[in-house]
A and B are shown apart, each in its own frame.
Chain A
Amino acid sequence: MEKNKKNKSIFIIFNKQLYKIKAIKLAIKEYQNLANFSFKQKENYIYVKLENIDKEVKKIIKDEFCNYVLFLMKF
């Protein structure tokens, strides 16, 4: 996980071996009112980019989003 301070956007890199694309897509759907999401798949990773993040959740959105993806992995 790395944070792009210049563009005030956050990148989260999920490993395909550990996370299902379906869970990530569902999590994006649930979180789309808090930020603008975009994602791409490359080799063994799924890159998720968060932009225009809601100020109130800026500090926790990355961690909460990752936890929510893990929660969705159960289904």
Chain B
Amino acid sequence: MKIKDNTLKFSFNLKDYPLEALHGAAYVFIDRAYLFLDNKSPKKIEVSLKGKKKLNKKQLEDLKGEFLNELLNYTVRVNLSKSNKKTREYIISQALFSAFGDYDINKEDEIKYEEDPLGIAIPWEDKHGKKQKK
């Protein structure tokens, strides 16, 4: 951890946190600090936190702590979202299926009896010929 020119630089292992969580946490802090991300090695991320106002060492360290907490918060949210993905998709597909199902039923109701698609109204004679006399 380095502190210089109102900027605190620290690094952590990207293996412990998803990239989406890092971007989410950074997004939360862009109104309070200037952030810059870099990676010194493929799995090690360096975060630069620069206070928008002049901050002392303790305030910068507090900011870092809050950033790491937010990072954890986002990590939980991302993991939860991944584990619930199938359930969410199932609920949405069921909701959409029900909606389309109703549409089909209503469409069936719209068929008028004069159309007689099952041929119920056709007289027996017309369908099978005249009755033979014994």
Contact = CB atoms under 8 A, between A and B. Distances in A.
A63 interface: yes
Interface in B40-90: 42, 45, 50
Contacts of B108: none
B37 A15 contact: yes
B92 interface: no
Contacts, number: 38
Interface string A35-75: 00000000000000000000000000001101100110110
Contacts of B39: 15, 17-18
B35 interface: yes
A15 B38 contact: yes
Contacts of B23: 70, 73-74
B26 interface: yes
Contacts of A63: 34, 36, 50
A19 B39 CA distance: 11
A11 to B, nearest CB: 13
A16 to B, nearest CB: 10
Given A18-B45, A63-B50, A70 B19 contact: no
**Residue with the highest number of chain A CB atoms closer than 10 Å, among B22, B27, B38:** B38
B30 interface: yes
B53 to A, nearest CB: 12
A66 B38 contact: no
Interface of B: 19, 22-24, 26-27, 30, 34-39, 42, 45, 50
**9 nearest A-B residue pairs (beta carbon):** A63-B34, A18-B37, A67-B30, A70-B26, A66-B36, A73-B23, A74-B27, A15-B39, A15-B38
